Amino acid sequence: MQLQGKVVAITGAFGALGSAVVRAVLAEGAQVAAIDRASAPHAPLEGAALFGDVDLSSDTGARAAVDAIVARFGRLDALVNIAGGFRWETVADGSLATWNAMFEANLRTAVGACHAALPHLPGDTGRIVNIGANGAMKAGAGMGAYAASKSGVARLTEALAEELKDRGITVNALLPSIIDTAANRKDMPTADFGTWVRPEQLADVIVFLLSAKSSAITGALLPVTGRV
């Protein structure tokens, strides 16, 4: 039980990766606050406290959710920012609104949740884990808005890690490739699913980054890409 006694807030918790992370963090003995924009999870998340109908890209959404979590549990030890979205669109045929939408879904949600959580995270043991994207390291055609927003998550991770070094709070990001989700299998039916990284494999790395064993790692951008 690596996370016994901890309270961990997880955003995007009702989604494919988020649900797997909620289960993995619960299994390590933590209390979990599961935050999402949806009203309820698609599959049961037994044992987690559910905070649905939260729009983390709004000015007040993240703060209200964090305040409710602290009121319920009396503390907040860690934040995992998983909320996000994806849009494939070329610049020539696309819309400028897509750039705003990607920045709101991927970067604004993470910044807003960090900003709300920071006053509560304990010095020396506090943890933030963000989800970037390996595909943001060099964007392909149609990936501009998404990759730019996930590059923003990488820069947020670096800046916040430096900012919090003296408080001993670590800030790291995972950079997944294609995750083996139902949505990706539907979108790419002829792909070799066995090469994709599974949500449970990403969750294992997140548990490590939340645990005491990772106390010397901060500001890391960690590719977790399966065999892609």
Ligand X SMILES: NC(=O)c1ccc[n+]([C@@H]2O[C@H](COP(=O)([O-])OP(=O)(O)OC[C@H]3O[C@@H](n4cnc5c(N)ncnc54)[C@H](OP(=O)(O)O)[C@@H]3O)[C@@H](O)[C@H]2O)c1
**Residues within the interface to ligand X (CB under 6 A):** 12, 14-18, 36-38, 54-57, 82-86, 105-106, 109, 131, 133, 176, 178-179, 181, 184
- Residue 30 or residue 83: which is nearer to ligand X going by CB? 83
Q: Is residue 142 within 8 Å of 88, Cβ to Cβ?
A: yes
First CA to last CA distance, the chain: 31
**Strand ordering across the sheet containing 127-131:** 49-51, 31-35, 7-11, 78-81, 127-131, 170-176, 221-224
Q: Which of 14, 51, 103, 146 is catalytic?
A: 146
Q: Is 147 a catalytic residue?
A: no
- Residue 124 or residue 192: which is nearer to ligand X going by CB? 192
Min. distance of Cβ 77 from ligand X in angstroms? Answer: 21
Min. distance of Cβ 165 from ligand X in angstroms? Answer: 25
Q: Is residue 106 within 8 Å of 116, Cβ to Cβ?
A: no
- Residue 14 or residue 99: which is nearer to ligand X going by CB? 14
Residues 6+ apart with CB under 8 A from 37: 52, 53, 54, 55, 56, 83
Min. distance of Cβ 146 from ligand X in angstroms? Answer: 8
Show which residues are catalytic.
Answer: 146
